[in-house]
Amino acid sequence: MKNGSNKRKTVGVIFGGRSVEHEISVITGLQLIRALDVERYDVIPIYIAPNGHWYVGEQLLERSFYKGLPGCLNELTEVTLLPVPDSEGVTVIGSSAETPVGRFSRAEQIPIDVYFLAFHGEFGEDGCVQGLMELADAAYTGGGVLSSSVAMDKYICKSVLHDHGIPVLPGVVVRKEDALKDFDSALKSVFEGGELKDFPVFVKPCHLGSSIGIAKAENEVELRSALALVFRHDNSAIVEPFLSEMFEINVSILEEEEPVASVVEIPVSASGVLSYEDKYLREGASKKTGEESGGMANLTRDIDPQHLDPAIKERVIGYAKKAVRVLECSGIVRFDFMYDTKTDNIYFNELNPMPGSFAFYLWVKSHPPLLYTEVLSRAIERAMERKSIKSSLIKELEFRALAQ
């Protein structure tokens, strides 16, 4: 191992959370736990319930356990991560010699060497948990606070990449606060700035993934309805032109000293617009392989499409590798692009800093193939390398002003 120790490292896999994408995070978490190298890592599942409480327990390893929520939470041990440097683990809440807490009886702290974050959406993928990790001086997978925050704001992410020469579609942000004050004015603002010319347009939440709350609008009535749908889940909507003749091209990147790209894919939707149902509830790849927790593998997709011009694949991969550097991504990410068949233009669509199923279905088809276990191990090693680099910085505080 790179860390020079034969002792298995303890990996705390954290999933769940307060996002509307909660159940998808659970699926992703269970998938990666089953794929981790048991010879290198000892795994502790850490579940964040929708109410924000953290729990550990062997029951979390079974998918059937979650059917009993929330009543079955009392079978678990509640823990928390203290925002204290070098905490080196999660702390059991209310533990004492007189209060048994299952497997972790009499233990005030459960040691964790590195945290594998498996969130989707707000309060997990967007920099919130990353900030807590930084306060605790913990090793964790994925991007840091700034990278995660920028990645989860579709408009800001597009703006940053546009400034670095990566093509993006124009977009207009409509804020819920403005719409509540004057919905008609908010509707007019979509076309007033000149970024968007006319209908049809595509409307989606600024800060959510998993195709939650997305809609196509052909006229003002549909735009009003689409914005109302977004505002049920998010405080901001992004409105973009709808490309009538386009298809998506996605690629996963493993951030290392030199970014490594998977093969590309073209996801397939019966409606032309990828929905939550398309991504997670259709009988796709996971049904064919017999895998229980399908996640993003459920989506019908054309992986490494042979009919796609190699030059287009190279352009997509080139943009993705550049974007990883610009946005300071880390771990396993997925970039989604759109290809306009009318103009031969490629546009960045969005970044998934913690993609569903961590895009393992792209890596196993790569050249050479990378098994899910190896991809996860490399992400963990990268997290520990980043922690080691940060630990080398001088952090001593000098009391000068207060000493005068």
pLDDT of 328: 96
Single-letter code of the amino acid located at 382:
R
In whole angstroms, give the CA distance from residue 125 to residue 148: 6
pLDDT at 278 over 60: no
pLDDT of 212: 78
Count of positions (residues) in the chain: 404
The reply to whether 378 falls in a domain is no
The reply to whether 403 falls in a domain is no
Q: Report whether 330 contacts 296 (CB < 8 A).
A: no
In whole angstroms, give the CA distance from residue 376 to residue 381: 9
pLDDT of 394: 75
pLDDT of 400: 77
Instruction: Tell whether 157 and 294 lie within a shared domain.
Output: yes
Instruction: Tell whether 157 and 301 lie within a shared domain.
Output: yes
In whole angstroms, give the CA distance from residue 196 to residue 283: 36
In whole angstroms, give the CA distance from residue 82 to residue 70: 24
The reply to whether 361 falls in a domain is yes
In whole angstroms, give the CA distance from residue 230 to residue 208: 10
The reply to whether 26 falls in a domain is yes
Residue partners of 45: CB distance under 8 A and separation at least 6: 13, 15, 29, 33, 56, 57, 60, 61
The reply to whether 282 falls in a domain is yes
Stretch among 137-141, 196-200, 315-319, 394-398 having the lowest mean pLDDT: 394-398
Tokens 């059917």 belong to: 67
CATH number at 235 reads: 3.30.1490.20
Instruction: Tell whether 278 and 155 lie within a shared domain.
Output: yes
- Total domains, the chain: 3
20 or 358: which carries more pLDDT confidence?
Answer: 358
CATH number at 18 reads: 3.40.50.20
Q: Which of the listed ranges 99-113, 263-277, 287-301, 376-390 does the model predict with the highest average pLDDT? A: 376-390
The reply to whether 382 falls in a domain is no
Q: Report whether 330 contacts 144 (CB < 8 A).
A: yes
The string over 209-228, giving b where at least 16 C-beta atoms fall within 10 Å of a residue's C-beta and e elsewhere, is bbbbbbbbbeeeebbbebbb
CATH number at 159 reads: 3.30.470.20
- The band of 88, judged by pLDDT with boundaries at 50, 70 and 90, is confident
- The band of 103, judged by pLDDT with boundaries at 50, 70 and 90, is low
Q: Read off the DSSP letter of residue 8.
A: P
Q: Report whether 82 contacts 91 (CB < 8 A).
A: yes
State whether the Cα torsion 167-169-175-176 is positive or negative. negative
Instruction: Tell whether 14 and 91 lie within a shared domain.
Output: yes
pTM: 0.88
The reply to whether 60 falls in a domain is yes
Instruction: Tell whether 332 and 350 lie within a shared domain.
Output: yes
Instruction: Tell whether 261 and 314 lie within a shared domain.
Output: yes
- The band of 297, judged by pLDDT with boundaries at 50, 70 and 90, is low
Omega within 30 of 0 (cis) for the link into 353: no
Which structural domain range is residue 211 located in? Answer: 172-241
Neighbours of 300 (CB within 10 A): 14
The reply to whether 287 falls in a domain is yes
